[in-house]
A and B are shown apart, each in its own frame.
Chain A
Amino acid sequence: MSRDLEKELREALRPVDPGEDFTARVLARLAADPAAATRGSAAAPLVRRRRAWIPLALAASLIAALVLGVQWQERRELRGLQARRELIEALRVSSQKLDLAYRLVNRPHPTDGDAT
Chain B
Amino acid sequence: MPRSPCDTPVATTPLLVVRGQATLSLPRQGVDDLRDQPPRGVALPPRFLRHADEQTVVGVHAVALALAGAVGGDDDRQGWAVVAAPRQAGRTASARTLAGWHAGGHAAVSPHVVPQCSLHAMASAVSVALGCHGTHLGVGGGPEAVAEALLAIPWLASAHPTVILVATGWDREPEIDGDGAGGAGMVVRAIAVLVAPSAAACGPTLSLALDRQPPAREPRSAAELDRFARLVGAVPERAGRVATVASFATRRGGSLRVTVGPVGRREAA
The finding on whether chains A and B are genuine partners in a shared complex, rather than unrelated, reads no
